[in-house]
Structure 1
């Protein structure tokens, strides 16, 4: 994309983990998809002097961003170094519909959109590998030891099958169904959820590892159901996965209430997504009408926001 009226834009999508969260840490597979219903757009505009930022968390000099935006500062610095440009004479505006700290890849999406915007602004080519390299440096700041999944999801257009330490494997989203995503309005508590599983692993190692392995098996079965266009089976696997995650201490009362509300209103299956103990949940519907019914019920149950997304072969085109 070239600059328009001396401005340049970069965009990125959110991401949803369909199956395998937490179990992936123990070597089990996971499934994730890009989620273009929630997006981030970074706009670069020429200005004079130090770089400024305008976003929901900060309005002012880039060098004065709060700690939670340190990854943004890093990605701008390393991008400009790659571009051989100076840290001055433009402003950044970041518009986001991806809620932060909900497991939807917001930090990676900010980095992806910003890198794209900067390369567009300076009219230089950006390869996908270079984009991922720059974004992953930013993700180290945000998350410490990222898998690279968020960067791949928020910058790509293909669902991915992932096993820790192995290459990402794209697969076709061949299931005809609708996905309802609901935001609890509560920040995910990944660290606490991870701690719960670790504690159970010490107290009941054999049973807990069996539950983790079952989550991996369900992820594999879900992939097959997607590829064979079996939404009823996919919904069943999703619900089974939620029950296991709840047993492992990853869910909470509000997530369980939303899952129950979705199932009571026609969902084929429903589960938490992401780190758990807050964040988001997802539900599978066989039609747009049912998806809307589920969305309405979830809003009545108290969710802060919902999205409805049609799955299928053309989902990511």
Structure 2
């Protein structure tokens, strides 16, 4: 088809939450996240056949999860990566149609570094990254006019339509890269506006409460990541905290207020270039999450994550769970001059796998705006 590229390749990084988990699902509440140098890559090639394909070596044997609600079998699409790919295609092609771009048949190939070769899930935000990578590749393929803000909004719409909860902070980290302070937007407003507004109008509007601020980490800050060996389902954990919110509203509001104050103080630490200020708030946020877990009956900090944190603290690091907890990763924010190798060796003895990842920043080539041709 004339005007289409033969082969398009785009990628999106994984992410980790640094602080602000759970509170960030509420409108306007902040969290701090970081993008990492492991990626989901999406390749799109125009197909001359009558059918297109979605291909992924990692996801070819992906199972579909379901649970029982009474006598009903309920399928949970939130842990199935193909749901996010299909949603990203649907939303981006809706945008293309609104701009009178003709649609094509193509093959999509997905390659993910966010899970290990043996299929281990590290909790690095693969569903967000695959959504962002697919949106970016299709915008490029169809020559759609986008910048980073529009890519975020398209990917957020696609991701939220599948997951139905969460803050979309992982989507923001995959789009903007580096360290960010993210304030979640009003998802109910978005759901309502989707019924009334076309996508170009919705993408151009300011979204209530949405704010993304890029942060610069102090030079002496090292981020060290450990994986517990136990994957966790963010969606299910957030569902359980939502029940606690409904049943014990005053305690939940207290948690929200303290979490906001903690993240604001941590952002000030980034602005001041102060590792000690950032570490103090990492510890504060860990204490808030421990209390939330105790009050709600949700095991956010597992015994292995507790070990990870205690070992890191012994080397002068500030450590906590990352994300929803219940498994997956923990982080240590520590001085670069500390004995990191000895700390990692102790993690290994405790069956904690060190993930040797680095912060991923967008280069100038990716601070792009795609224009219609």
TM-score, structure 2 as length reference? 0.70
Structure 1 pair 9–59 and aligned structure 2 pair: CA distance change class (3 A): farther
For 1:196-235, list aligned pairs within 5 A. Answer: 198-199=243-244, 202=247, 209-235=253-279
Q: What is the aligned partner in structure 2 of residue 175 from structure 1? A: 218
Q: What is the aligned partner in structure 2 of residue 63 from structure 1? A: none
User: Is the CA contact (8 Å cut-off) linking 1:30 and 1:162 kept in structure 2?
Assistant: yes
Q: What is the aligned partner in structure 2 of residue 297 from structure 1? A: 346
Q: What is the aligned partner in structure 2 of residue 53 from structure 1? A: 54
Structure 1 pair 101–210 and aligned structure 2 pair: CA distance change class (3 A): farther
Query: What SS does the corresponding residue of 1:278 show, helix, strand or coil?
Result: coil
Q: Using the alignment, how far apart are the partners of 2:166 and 2:320 within structure 1?
A: 23
1:72 counterpart = 2:88: no
Cα drift, residue 29 of structure 1? 3.7
- The partner residue of 1:104 within 108, 124, 133 is 124
Cα drift, residue 73 of structure 1? 1.3
1:307 counterpart = 2:356: yes
Query: What SS does the corresponding residue of 2:356 show, helix, strand or coil?
Result: strand
Cα drift, residue 118 of structure 1? 2.3
Q: Using the alignment, how far apart are the partners of 2:359 and 2:15 within structure 1?
A: 14
For 1:268-283, list aligned pairs within 5 A. Answer: 268-283=317-332
1:261 counterpart = 2:262: no
Query: What SS does the corresponding residue of 1:254 show, helix, strand or coil?
Result: helix
Q: Using the alignment, how far apart are the partners of 2:243 and 2:95 within structure 1?
A: 40
Q: Using the alignment, how far apart are the partners of 2:107 and 2:333 within structure 1?
A: 41
For 1:59-208, list aligned pairs within 5 A. Answer: 67=77, 68=80, 69-83=82-96, 84-86=101-103, 88=105, 90-99=106-115, 103-157=123-177, 159-162=180-183, 165=186, 166-176=209-219, 177-190=221-234, 191-192=236-237, 195=240, 198-199=243-244, 202=247
Structure 1 pair 111–207 and aligned structure 2 pair: CA distance change class (3 A): closer
Structure 1 pair 143–171 and aligned structure 2 pair: CA distance change class (3 A): same
User: Is the CA contact (8 Å cut-off) linking 1:79 and 1:118 kept in structure 2?
Assistant: yes
How many residues are treated as equivalent by the alignment?
Answer: 304
User: Is the CA contact (8 Å cut-off) linking 1:236 and 1:269 kept in structure 2?
Assistant: yes
Q: What is the aligned partner in structure 2 of residue 43 from structure 1? A: 43
TM-score, structure 1 as length reference? 0.81
Q: Using the alignment, how far apart are the partners of 1:211 and 1:78 within structure 2?
A: 35
Q: CA RMSD in A?
A: 3.3
Q: Using the alignment, how far apart are the partners of 1:274 and 1:197 within structure 2?
A: 16
1:214-263 Cα distance to aligned partner (Å, 9 max, x none) = 33322122111111111122122212321331232222212112112222
Query: What SS does the corresponding residue of 1:126 show, helix, strand or coil?
Result: coil
